[in-house]
């Protein structure tokens, strides 16, 4: 147990009690009691702080989350005892291979048909018609299966034959061709994938029996197709929900990881066991193609009883060095609470007016209009005492402008900003009235 006393202005993003992220500025003295300091995460038992309006708060317990080893924002925390895998492409050793990475036995590209070139400085270049890159324990120990996961990569499209359905795709909840042949162990080939396609669309797809996939939730993201020669960040998150369903989320970053990335959720889907895989091919008699692929290692039909042993990345018909990856990772995550499972869409005018307000270019009423909109749209939840009538400003501490400015510049996520304002209203740091 350690206690830290800080005497400077600090900015923290906290996960409080139910997992709600809160961003705010504080003025010391700040007391943090923690079980560990340093590394990617610190588990904190309590925190006591005084804000610039001299109010004092104590919050416990909480987790201070951060960035992964590449400096990329982690959307959800790694579960206690969970696995984390990071690409070893920046170890200073160039290499070319067609199977397992000779310097990383967990990176198994001995599938499909492609050649892989690593420059040793972090870049992984793909050439070939059927690139398939699996990440799993080389001993195939079921104890090292992947369950709820957050898969991350930055990819640059360079040259390909414009196959519409191809692109950047991550697949989890699978044992495709890993412990047995893919044309024999058909039920083990089942998996859930999310992709950014070359035709500019995003969707999810379930493989019900190799090589049969059933897509859902198709959305157009890039009207001119997936852009070339720019870095595109993509995350696929898959986890079981508290009601027994399976949630899939696809996230996109257009900032090349600046300040951890400007991550936006661009697609999501909940597999209820009746809506994903409809009309698909059964992997064997008696197995329904719509069966949910949960994080359990006890899956009906699995030939190996290791249905979650691997995750993988895939594309198709890539030209010479035609698809480049960097900063790839896979982490086993703690399934988020319902409060964290936000699907926010905040119009640009709200962000712009918040930025102008933070810089003193418009009055408090402009900022309050943005809060009114978020409340009216159900994006922001406020205490019952302020849910009647229109919101008016009674008191907003000046340091809230800093947080607003960071959000307007994408240094704080939408959910962090919204949940932070909710928390500050609830605690009376921002005081609102009604008329």
Tally Cβ neighbours within 10 Å of residue 404. 25
Q: Is 151 exposed, middle or buried (0-12, 13-18, 19+ CB in 10 A)?
A: buried
Q: Is 422 exposed, middle or buried (0-12, 13-18, 19+ CB in 10 A)?
A: buried
In this predicted structure, the answer to whether residue 357 has a pLDDT above a threshold of 60 is yes
Q: Which residue has the higher pLDDT, 323 or 56?
A: 323
Q: Which of 172-186, 282-296, 325-339, 395-409 has the lowest mean pLDDT?
A: 395-409
pTM score: 0.69
Cα separation, 144 vs 329, in Å, equals: 16
Q: Which of 3-17, 196-210, 287-301, 306-320 has the lowest mean pLDDT?
A: 3-17
pLDDT-derived band at 34 (thresholds 50, 70, 90) equals very low
Measured over all CA atoms, what is the biggest interatomic distance in the chain, rounded to whole angstroms? Answer: 69
pLDDT-derived band at 14 (thresholds 50, 70, 90) equals very low
Q: Are 332 and 147 in contact (CB under 8 A)?
A: yes
Percent of the chain with pLDDT over 90: 60
Which domains does the chain carry? 2-71+340-434 (no CATH), 84-332 (2.60.120.560)
Pairing, β 310-314 against β 107-118: unpaired
In this predicted structure, the answer to whether residue 294 has a pLDDT above a threshold of 90 is yes
Cα separation, 261 vs 329, in Å, equals: 14
Q: Which of 203-212, 334-343, 378-387, 397-406 has the lowest mean pLDDT?
A: 378-387
Q: Are 306 and 175 in contact (CB under 8 A)?
A: yes
In this predicted structure, the answer to whether residue 43 has a pLDDT above a threshold of 80 is no
In this predicted structure, the answer to whether residue 16 has a pLDDT above a threshold of 50 is no
């Amino acid at each position: 147990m350690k206690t830290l006393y800080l005497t400077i202005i600090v900015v923290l993003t906290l996960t409080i009690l139910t997992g709600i992220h809160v961003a705010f500025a504080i003025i010391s003295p700040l007391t943090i009691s923690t079980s560990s300091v340093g590394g990617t995460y610190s588990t904190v038992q309590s925190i006591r702080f005084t804000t610039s309006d001299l109010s004092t708060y104590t919050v416990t317990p909480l987790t201070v989350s951060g960035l992964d080893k590449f400096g990329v924002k982690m959307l959800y925390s790694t579960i206690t005892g969970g696995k984390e895998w990071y690409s070893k492409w920046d170890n200073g050793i160039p290499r070319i291979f067609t199977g397992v990475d000779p310097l990383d036995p967990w990176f198994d590209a001995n599938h499909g048909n492609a050649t892989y070139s690593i420059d040793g400085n972090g870049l992984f270049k793909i050439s070939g018609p059927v690139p398939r890159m699996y990440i799993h324990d080389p001993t195939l120990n079921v104890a090292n299966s992947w369950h709820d996961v957050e898969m991350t990569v930055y990819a640059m499209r360079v040259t390909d034959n414009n196959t519409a359905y191809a692109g950047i795709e991550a697949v989890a909840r699978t044992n495709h061709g890993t412990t047995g042949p893919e044309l024999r162990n058909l039920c083990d080939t089942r998996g859930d994938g999310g992709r950014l396609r070359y035709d500019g669309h995003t969707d999810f797809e379930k493989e019900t029996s190799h090589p049969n996939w059933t897509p859902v939730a198709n959305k157009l993201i890039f009207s001119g197709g997936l852009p070339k020669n720019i870095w595109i960040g993509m995350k696929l998150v898959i986890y079981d929900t508290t009601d027994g369903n399976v949630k899939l989320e696809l996230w996109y970053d257009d900032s090349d990881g600046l300040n951890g990335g400007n991550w936006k959720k661009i697609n999501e889907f909940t597999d209820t066991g009746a809506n994903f895989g409809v009309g698909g091919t059964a992997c064997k008699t008696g197995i329904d193609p719509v069966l949910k692929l949960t994080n359990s290692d006890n899956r009906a039909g699995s030939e190996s009883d290791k249905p979650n042993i691997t995750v993988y990345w895939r594309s198709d018909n890539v030209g010479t060095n035609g698809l480049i990856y960097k900063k790839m990772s896979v982490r086993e995550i703690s399934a988020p609470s319902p409060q964290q499972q936000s699907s926010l869409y905040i119009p640009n005018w709200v962000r712009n007016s918040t930025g102008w307000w933070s810089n003193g270019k418009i009055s408090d009423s402009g900022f309050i209009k943005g809060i009114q909109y978020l409340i009216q749209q159900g994006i922001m939840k406020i205490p019952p005492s302020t849910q009647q009538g229109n919101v008016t400003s009674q008191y907003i501490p000046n340091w809230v402008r800093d947080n607003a400015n960071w959000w307007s510049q994408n240094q704080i996520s939408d959910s962090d900003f919204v949940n932070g304002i909710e928390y500050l209203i609830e605690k009376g740091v921002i005081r609102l009235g009604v008329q």
